[in-house]
Each structure stands twice: as structure tokens, then as C-alpha cells.
Structure 1
Amino acid sequence: MDLNPTPEQQAIAESVRRWAREHARPEALLRWERLPRGIDDRSWEQCANLGWFALCVPPERGGAGLALPEVAMWFSEAARGLVPLSVTNAVRGAHALAVIDPEAEELSAVAKGEAVVAVAVAEEHDRRPKLGRTRLERRGTDWVVSGEKWYVGNGTLATDHLLAAWSDEGLAWCLVDARNVRVEPLRTFDGERQARAVYDNVPVRRVLVAGRLADERTQRWAREQQAFALVEMAGIMDAVIERTVAYVKEREQFGQKIGVFQAVQHQVADMGIAYTASRHLAWQAVTRLAAGTAGGWELSVAAAFVAQACKRVTQTAHHLHGGAGYVVEHPLHFYSERAVTLCVRYAPEATALDAVAAYWLEGPGQPAS
């Protein structure tokens, strides 16, 4: 497996890093936290002009139609550079709609940043679409949806909700106008614009897919979303280690740089080992998904290791920074908050370990993710 980025991936990485250096500075991030969208309008337009919202959109709908590894590179660098979560979730929404219905006419506006898709899947006590209680029903010639979804990313600022619901044909995906949905903002650990969305006989604009095809596309969407989260965590670890190494080289204690102390060196070495292993596992999962050779266990193994490694790395970084790492003006807390949120939402340890155990104890024929 070649982990060296292609020229196209390098161009994506440099584009994100340049924007992040110029715009996503700690003072800007703190200022944006107070805005409804989590970013100012000018910066949102810059992201649209850079083509970020069009990454996953098919060319027929005005997008770039990039392959999974290239999109994963964007997510990794976006996490590394602390690109606002509202932008990251907008790209996730574009990806979800492109997977569920690549011919959706709404994708054209999404690619320009003019429309924002919120993906509504999880319910209060279950994140699995097929176990949800939200119902899609026909009323005459029209469709309506009833139920509620929790933890909807960009739920307070979306123009459209991409909704997973249960129908007579089984699992179904539909699009509804966000103006017809009652949304209640949720307080989140990392400042993400999440919401509880209530659908009270809300008219459905269009049923996109249902039944067996919906199951297949849902599985693809879920796997790719988890892969994006894993490379995001690798990007977080890369940034955190870079900042920590620079800090221990300049911070003095007992008349010398703390980086000369063996105890500090050991902790930095452990951070580097965790990051290197995580990077290999995350990108192995991405490349095998893209090539269609994933056996099912790669994502589970990566999720079990990378998520916990990311939390350990950020915690160690706080320890080595001392009090400096805990002030809001320092960017370190943004990384640790995102690390915890990504772990909980996309890579819960227990679920991943169960899948790994099933693979090894029950045989490769068992589903592992």
C-alpha cells in the first residue's frame, strides 16, 4: 500500500492548509462560535469558491466528482486545519445526498454552497437507521413523514433534510424542506450546530430510494462516513503532535528545555507511534473501500484503534502543554473536543471491538462493520 499522496491529493491538502493558515486562526474560531452558522458569510463563500462543497457532487450536477481517497484527503486536512464544523458537515451532507441519490437535482445548489443538506438518521436512543421509529407514509398521491431525529449536524442552518425513515418497503430515504421542520438546537461538546428535528406529518418533497437499494446505499454511506472520521482523527493527531513538539522544544523548566527530559521524550514518542499506526490503519480502510476490496474488518479494526489513540494523543498533548493548553485562546482544546466527538459519533469503541471479535471468533464470513 502506497501512502504517498498523489499530485491531486497534494493540491487538495495545500489548498486546505493555505486557507486554514490565513483564516482559521484561534481568534477567528472563537469569533465564529458566536455566529449562527459557525462561520462568517465571506468565509463561507470562499469555501464555496474553492470547490469544497462540490467535492463529492457528480460532474453532471456541477461538482468535481472526486474519488473517495481525494475526498478523504480533504477531510483529513480540514480537521488538521480546524476548518469550521459547519463547513465539514456541509461536505458530509453533500456526500450523503450524492451517495443516496447521485441524480438529485438539489446537488447543483449544494455544490455552489447555496443549499445545505442536513443528514437526519440517529434517533434519541439508537443511531441505526433500520431501528428508527420515524415513519414514511402515503397520503393520497403525496408522502408525509412523522417522527423525530436527534443530533442532526447543521440541523439549525440546513435548507434540506435528507431523512432516513421506515416505510412499507423497508428503509427509505427522502428529502424534506427544512422550513417545514421544527428544530431545537442542542448544546454540544465541540460547538457543532446539532439539533433535534421534529417531523409532524411533514410533506416529503421526494422519496429518493427505498427497500433493498436503500439498504445497499445506506451501508456504503455509513462506511464512507466512518472512513472520513478516521482520517479526520489522523489529521488531528498530526496537528497536535506538531504543536506539542514545537512547545516542548521552547518551554523551559529547571533552566533547560523540557524536551530534553526523558519522561517528556517517551510521551512524545508514544504519541508518534500512535499516530503512525493510526494513519496506516485509516488510509488502508480508505484505499480498500475505494478499490472495492474491503473485506469488512478493516474499518472495524481502524475504528477500534484510531479513535482511542486520538483521544490519548490529545490528552497527552494537554499534559505536556501544562496550563497553556487549557486556555480558550490556545487552539489545542479545539482538537481535543473534536477528537471526543468523532469517537462518540463515528467510531464507538464497543461497537468496533464487537465487530473485530466476531470476525476472529466466528470467522471471516461474519459481518464486521
Structure 2
Amino acid sequence: MELTWGEDYDALADVARSVFERISPLTDRDRTTDFSGLVRQFAELDWLTLGNPGGGAGSASLASTAAVFVEAGRALVCSPLLPLITTRDAAVLCGSPRAGELAAGIESGTTTVLPALHDPAWGQAKPAVRGGVLSGTALAVPYADAADLLMVEATEDVGGGNRSDVLVAVPRGPQVAVEPMPNLGEHSMFAVTFSGTPVSEVEVLARAGTAHTAVVTARRRAAVLTAAQIHGAGLALLDRTVRYAQQRRQFGGPIGRFQAVQYLCTDIAVAVHLTSAFVRDAARRLDEGADAAAEVALMGKQARMTAEEMVHAAHEVHAGIGFMVESDVHMFTKTSAKWMFDLGDEHRNDQAILAELWRESIGGRL
């Protein structure tokens, strides 16, 4: 395992901490998200150029970019930064001229392109392109109501009754219906339905293997940054839980003097530390240009466990007060559930790990 961050990590972390502390719901729950203002700020900070898989000029590595997301997680800030970077990554990896234009527009903050990528967990088919027309629905699309264009993962006919992957850019318009998906955490999620939406050839970003690889790699890179947010949130939740254990008094002293409470705080600390190690390893492998399927799957499994275990332990220490509106603990609980969803279910992570182990240990000898 490679357990170092990128060389720009500390500098990025310092700036990100100052930015996210000012907009954290942990300090101001009534603050509303100014989407356009955030995008402008991210562009001015050059954060939309971070971690460019094409190695753009001045772009920090993924292992350094994680610093921004650790601090976002610490402040529990949900923003369009990760969706925009995910779309940028996919566009760069497509390699076509139109995809390059979109990537440049995202990095400059002049074009808002958000990912409408397929998630099999919803149990429905990908949108389909037939005769230059796109139909179908993409679910859980973040900030779709603010997009200039959507990057849609779809399929298209290739003859003989066969279909192949295609990645297309679709402007929002009258034939693109955007409906909010209410959720407990109040995260920005939309169902986007394409009803006979025309797709010109110029808006086709990539096809077949190139499209598939672009989406898979962009998703893996996004998983690293999601896990980095869990690491940051875990650090903040650990601080709050330890402080509460020191301040809350029962039976003549602080509850932190009891071993049962100490074990719960230790559980959070260990889980968060393990997630940090897996994030660094997966980020470094991706920065090296490796497939990193096993590293990302192992990281995802650990990060999901951490997201679940840290809020469980925090609630055990806080007891009933953790469920109250006055407490911050319930806010970590709701956001952790979203992160767990984004990382995919545990069964899929296990399948990816086993497949990679088979490929390395058995398949390589056949």
C-alpha cells in the first residue's frame, strides 16, 4: 500500500478548510446553497482543474485533490464540486474534440455539465438512442435543475439486434423533464426523463469501449473523493463524540471514564484511519495510471463500513440527544447514508474484489 498524500495536499487542505468552514451547515443550518456562486468560486480557486486524468497543466494529482474533499467532509458541505469533476474526468477520458470542449468549459466555470450516469442499483435500463433520438430516464442526477448540459450514459443500436454503450451531451430543453427526488438528507437529486430528445452526431462524446472505460474510470475516481469525504466527516464526528464524552456527566463524573464509551470512540478512530489508508492507496494507484479496480473496491468496502460504524458509535455515546434537532449527529447520519449509496452496495464491491483477486492469482497463470 502507498500511504502518502500528494505533494500539494497540505496547501490545498488549508485553503479548503477556510472555504468550507464559512459555508458549513454545522455552523449555519439556515444557509442556502448558491449554485452559481459556488461554481464561480471553485473556478477562481482552480479547483475545477484538480486531478485532471489527462495531466493538464498545473493540475494536482488525485492524491492531492483528496485534500479538498476531506475538508468538505469535515465541514459536512455538499456541493456541485464532485459531480462537475466527475463529468470533467469522463470528458477528458473520452478524448473526442467535443468532449475536450466540454472539459475546458467545466474547468473554466463557463459551462455546467453534470453527470446523468447509469446506476444499476435502481433496477432499470440505461436510456437508449435510436435513430438519433434519446429516450429513457436517469435517476439521482445531482443538481440537474442547474445544468447547461447533461452527460448521459446510454446505449445505441449497432446492428444485428445488438446494443453498445454511448456517451452523449444533451442540453436541457423542453424534451428533457427534470423532477426532484425528495430524500431524507435533502440532497440535490433529480429524475431526468428524455422523451424523444434529439441527439446530433456532434454531441456524441464516445462510443463502445471508450465510452465504457471513461465512465468506469470517472466513477472510480469519484469513489476515491467520496471516501475522502467520509474520512473528513469521521474526523469531525470523532472530535464531537470525544468532546461530548468529556462533558456529559453521569454517576458523579464524565461518561468518558467508562471503558464502554472509550471503546466506541476508539471504533470511530480506527475506522476513520483505515479509510484514510485505503483512500491514499487507491488515489496513488489511479495517479499511476493503473486500473486500480481492486484498490477502489477494497476502499469502497471499508469506506461504507466506516460511514455506517462511525454514526452508530456516535449515536451510542450521545444516546437520545443524538437524534435531536439540536444535535449535529443526525446530520452526519443522513449524509453518511447518501455516501454509502454513492459507493454502491456491499455485494457489488465484494464481487469486484473477488473478480480482481481471481484475475491476479488464477487468471494470470492460465
1:148 and 2:137 correspond = yes
The match for 1:178 among 172, 175, 180 is: 172
1:74 and 2:74 correspond = no
Q: Deviations along 1:219-270, whole A, 9 cap, x unmatched? A: 2122212222222222221221122122212222223122111111111112
Report sequence identity in percent: 22
- TM, length-normalised to structure 2: 0.85
Equivalent residue number for residue 53 of structure 1: 48
Q: State how far apart, in whole Å, the 1-side matches of 2:266 and 2:119 are.
A: 41
Deviation at 1:201, TM superposition (A): 1.7
The match for 1:132 among 120, 125, 143 is: 125
Q: Greater relative contact order: 1 or 2 (C-alpha under 8 angstroms, separation 6 or more)?
A: 2
SS where residue 289 of structure 1 aligns?
helix
1:305 and 2:298 correspond = no
One-letter amino acid of the counterpart of residue 80, structure 2: S
Equivalent residue number for residue 339 of structure 2: 342
Q: Deviations along 1:267-323, whole A, 9 cap, x unmatched? A: 111221222222212221121122134553222222222211221111211221233
SS where residue 190 of structure 1 aligns?
coil
* Contact 2:91–2:205 (Cα < 8 Å) also in 1: no
Equivalent residue number for residue 161 of structure 2: none
Q: State how far apart, in whole Å, the 2-side matches of 1:178 and 1:3 are.
A: 42
Equivalent residue number for residue 10 of structure 2: 10
SS where residue 292 of structure 1 aligns?
coil
Deviation at 1:18, TM superposition (A): 0.9
* Contact 1:86–1:192 (Cα < 8 Å) also in 2: no
Equivalent residue number for residue 331 of structure 1: 328
Deviation at 1:24, TM superposition (A): 1.5
Bigger shift: residues 164-173 or 21-30 = 21-30
Q: State how far apart, in whole Å, the 1-side matches of 2:122 and 2:198 are.
A: 24
Count of equivalent residues: 354
1:82-121 matches, within 5 Å, as 82-101=76-95, 103=97, 104-121=100-117
* Contact 2:50–2:62 (Cα < 8 Å) also in 1: no
Equivalent residue number for residue 31 of structure 2: 31
1:279 and 2:273 correspond = no
Q: Call closer, same or farther: CA 1:99–1:108 in 2, change over 3 Å.
A: same
Q: State how far apart, in whole Å, the 2-side matches of 1:278 and 1:23 are.
A: 25
Deviation at 1:337, TM superposition (A): 1.6
Q: Call closer, same or farther: CA 1:20–1:363 in 2, change over 3 Å.
A: closer
Q: Call closer, same or farther: CA 1:273–1:237 in 2, change over 3 Å.
A: same
Q: Call closer, same or farther: CA 1:14–1:166 in 2, change over 3 Å.
A: same
The match for 2:236 among 234, 239, 248 is: 239
SS where residue 149 of structure 1 aligns?
strand
1:254-293 matches, within 5 Å, as 254-293=251-290
Deviation at 1:15, TM superposition (A): 1.0
Q: State how far apart, in whole Å, the 2-side matches of 1:155 and 1:342 are.
A: 18
Q: State how far apart, in whole Å, the 2-side matches of 1:212 and 1:87 are.
A: 27
One-letter amino acid of the counterpart of residue 160, structure 1: L
One-letter amino acid of the counterpart of residue 24, structure 1: S
Q: State how far apart, in whole Å, the 1-side matches of 2:352 and 2:268 are.
A: 26
- TM, length-normalised to structure 1: 0.85
Q: State how far apart, in whole Å, the 2-side matches of 1:362 and 1:64 are.
A: 36
Query: Where in structure 2 are there 5+ consecutive unaligned residues?
Result: 159-163
* Contact 1:122–1:151 (Cα < 8 Å) also in 2: no
Q: CA RMSD in A?
A: 2.9
Q: State how far apart, in whole Å, the 2-side matches of 1:115 and 1:51 are.
A: 15
Deviation at 1:183, TM superposition (A): 0.8
Q: Deviations along 1:147-170, whole A, 9 cap, x unmatched? A: 111111112221110001112341
One-letter amino acid of the counterpart of residue 312, structure 1: E
